[in-house]
């Protein structure tokens, strides 16, 4: 009987832990692919798993990523770029072909858990000048029709990731929220269609960009744990712009008769470089508080139920457009190679974990030769410009991590970023005989001279092997639970 009591005790403990695990939601993030030297997809999937991410959003249907995510236990949102909207809107057959190739194929043949499709990305931005206004809704309708035809209409949901500029408030208060007048009718059609088909709204909220856009914006209000003066909206007090922004949308939905429309945060985060406010301290402060909210299931004042929140972004992308600002390439909570930028508690005391198994190019850098003369400053300037146009110099400049380098180190940084981007190829460290290769790390903290990931073997790799089946903690608990049941039944049989 003592043995039975021991089994029962363990059984009850595991049962309790299992119930606890069911009540804890995982983390979600955006996995961007605009890198000159991307991390191998299998390493990224392990990075996601190691850090508790069980949902991920892709901005495009990348074959390598979708295969690696197969049987991983990670739920996937697949994106469709804006430049594909016209084709998908013009012909439902194009939408059917896209769904077959990028959704049905990976679900059936690779076990990829595709749960939703993000159609377009912020299509109503003012900067697009109505370019996608006439194609986004027909594209949404055709993709939904294609999913239904493929037998995936209930399994795979649709959404449109929107920027927060689709709604506004004239009072400065969230309760005054309404959709932009020129988009009101279109938004009503989209939201009703999403609701009728079990879809959801995805909204991108960026306190950092709110701060950037308005010189008078109170900086502290961009953070969760702050000393800013609160915003009083009737009986509700807002202590941060994230909640105020989100509830402005909720108010707009309520006024339009869609107060219960499901909403997720498609993108939110803070960059670490490329601007004086984009730094390690601010990013850690914002993202840690954001993670704490997610882990504790905290919603907003107007909608207490917490939404899924997709952190932007997983790691830095050195090939993104810098049109919005140099910070665009530095949104990752990890560096380009999956190494840790700053410590984070990913929930319940679980520390952030770096990527494993990353292979780099040779340990060498390209720097300006100590003997190089600057008798021809035009040639030097042209060389630096060429290097930065073909590499990534967004960490240079005022307020950035490499903003305090001297002139020679500035040139060295530019030369090295080009050298690494070109895979340290022969002739990539010349620059009119002004540069040399060194094996001595020229980094000057906080400025880091990078060595790129070696992606050459990825390009030569043989066909993708069968994906690894990753076991979630919940699945492991189920196995233990089943084993204990078997053991207990066996013991009772012996009585």
What is the Cα–Cα distance from 431 to 383, expressed in whole angstroms?
Answer: 6
Q: Do residues 39 and 314 make contact, with C-beta atoms less than 8 angstroms apart?
A: no
Beta bridge partners of 453: 360
For residue 42, give every residue at least 6 positions away whose Cβ sits within 8 Å of its Cβ, in sequence order, or none.
68, 467, 468
Angle of the 407-421 helix axis to the 377-390 helix axis, nearest 10: 40
Task: Reply yes or no on whether 220 is catalytic.
Answer: no
Task: Reply yes or no on whether 267 is catalytic.
Answer: yes
What is the Cα–Cα distance from 128 to 122, expressed in whole angstroms?
Answer: 9
Which residue is catalytic, options 122, 317, 328, 450? Answer: 122
Using omega within 30 degrees of 0 as the cis cutoff, is the peptide bond preceding 257 cis? no
Which residue is catalytic, options 96, 220, 254, 267? Answer: 267
What is the Cα–Cα distance from 118 to 159, expressed in whole angstroms?
Answer: 5
Beta bridge partners of 116: 77, 157
What is the Cα–Cα distance from 130 to 82, expressed in whole angstroms?
Answer: 12
The length of the chain is: 495
> Which residue numbers are catalytic?
122, 267
């Amino acid at each position: 009987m003592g043995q039975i009591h021991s089994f029962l005790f363990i059984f009850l403990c595991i049962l309790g832990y299992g119930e606890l695990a069911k009540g804890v939601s995982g983390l979600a993030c955006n996995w961007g692919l605009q890198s000159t030297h991307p991390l191998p997809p299998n390493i990224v999937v392990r990075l996601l798993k190691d850090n508790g991410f069980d949902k991920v959003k892709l901005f495009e249907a990348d074959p390598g990523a979708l295969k690696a995510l197969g049987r991983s236990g990670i739920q996937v949102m697949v994106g469709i770029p804006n430049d594909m909207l016209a084709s998908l809107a013009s012909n439902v057959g194009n939408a059917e072909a896209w769904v077959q190739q990028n959704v049905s194929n990976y679900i059936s043949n690779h076990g990829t858990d595709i749960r939703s499709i993000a159609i377009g990305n912020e299509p109503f931005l003012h900067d697009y000048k109505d370019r996608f206004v006439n194609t986004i809704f027909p594209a949404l309708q055709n993709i939904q029709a294609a999913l239904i035809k493929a037998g995936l209409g209930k399994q795979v949901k649709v959404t449109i990731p929107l920027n927060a500029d689709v709604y506004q408030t004239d009072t400065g208060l969230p309760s005054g929220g309404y959709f932009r007048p020129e988009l009101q009718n279109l938004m009503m059609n989209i939201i009703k269609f999403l609701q009728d088909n079990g879809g959801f709204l995805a909204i991108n909220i960026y306190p950092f960009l709110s701060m950037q856009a308005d010189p008078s914006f109170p900086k502290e209000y961009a953070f969760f744990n702050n000393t800013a003066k609160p915003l009083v909206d009737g009986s509700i007090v807002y202590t941060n712009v994230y909640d105020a922004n989100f509830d402005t949308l909720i108010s707009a939905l309520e006024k339009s008769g869609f107060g219960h429309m499901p909403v997720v945060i498609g993108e939110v985060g803070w960059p670490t470089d490329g601007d004086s406010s984009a730094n390690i301290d601010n990013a850690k402060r914002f993202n840690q508080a954001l993670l704490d909210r997610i882990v504790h299931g905290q919603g907003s004042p107007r909608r207490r139920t917490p939404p899924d929140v997709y952190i932007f972004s997983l790691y830095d992308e050195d090939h993104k457009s810098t049109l919005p600002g140099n910070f665009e390439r530095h949104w990752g909570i990890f560096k380009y190679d999956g190494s840790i930028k700053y410590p984070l508690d990913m929930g319940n005391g679980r520390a952030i974990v770096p990527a494993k198994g990353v292979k780099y190019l040779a340990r060498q850098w390209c720097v300006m030769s100590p003997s190089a003369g600057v008798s021809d400053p035009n040639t030097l300037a042209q060389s630096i410009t060429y290097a930065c146009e073909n590499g990534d110099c967004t960490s240079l400049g005022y307020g950035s991590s490499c903003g305090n380098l001297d002139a020679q180190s500035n040139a060295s940084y530019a030369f090295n970023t080009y050298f690494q981007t070109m895979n340290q190829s022969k002739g990539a460290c010349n620059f009119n005989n002004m540069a040399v290769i060194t094996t001595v790390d020229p980094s000057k903290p906080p400025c880091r001279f990078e060595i790129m990931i070696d992606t050459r073997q990825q390009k030569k790799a043989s066909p993708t092997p069968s994906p690894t089946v990753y076991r979630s903690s919940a699945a492991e608990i189920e196995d233990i639970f089943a084993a204990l049941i078997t053991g207990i039944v066996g013991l009772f049989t012996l009585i």
